[in-house]
Structure 1
């Protein structure tokens, strides 16, 4: 479902449909809803799309923060963030919300 929403958003940007001041326009959200329905046959609401996009933005920021730290990297095969156990432990002590 996430992939369909993201693909829809990328298509809208490439088509010249810019973001509105408060997030996504109703047109962009409706395109994402259509894409999810056609792609995985799941009906989602306007609110579902908006909340999920906000969650994805937050997760992206977390990943970006980790990848900018010297002890962390990306395993391109598994597409997971990697670090030694000491680096993880030290990081999570300072930011327990990243323990997930």
Structure 2
């Protein structure tokens, strides 16, 4: 299954609402089972899918990995955030050097990042 931007937006909105409702543990910052259930139900209903709690967990792991990659890029001196284009910018040689050491960053080269 391929996640879409719209699915990510829906999941993000539902999880933010669940956090506000207290369905996230304060001690370990983990979602409570009720939050997963609401997220699964909302996504399945809106997009006519058959997702499970594991799909949500895996998507959250992907988000965390992407966040760490972006954080690494933006803490590197050769890279900057382009607010207008909503993407990470650097010259070609900087990208080549960075990707050689950090292959997972390749997907962010020239990629527009929405929210």
Structure 2-normalised TM-score? 0.74
Q: Which sections of structure 2, spanning at least 5 residues, go unmatched?
A: 1-6, 108-115
CA distance in 2, matches of 1:62, 1:34: 30
> Does residue 87 of structure 1 match 2:94?
yes
Is residue 2:73 matched to residue 1:55? no
User: Does 1:13 pair with 2:46?
Assistant: no
What does residue 9 of structure 2 align with?
Answer: 3
- With normalisation by structure 1, the TM-score equals 0.83
Displacement, 1:12? 1.4
RMSD: 2.0
| Contact 2:80/2:88 (<8 A) preserved | yes
Aligned residues: 100
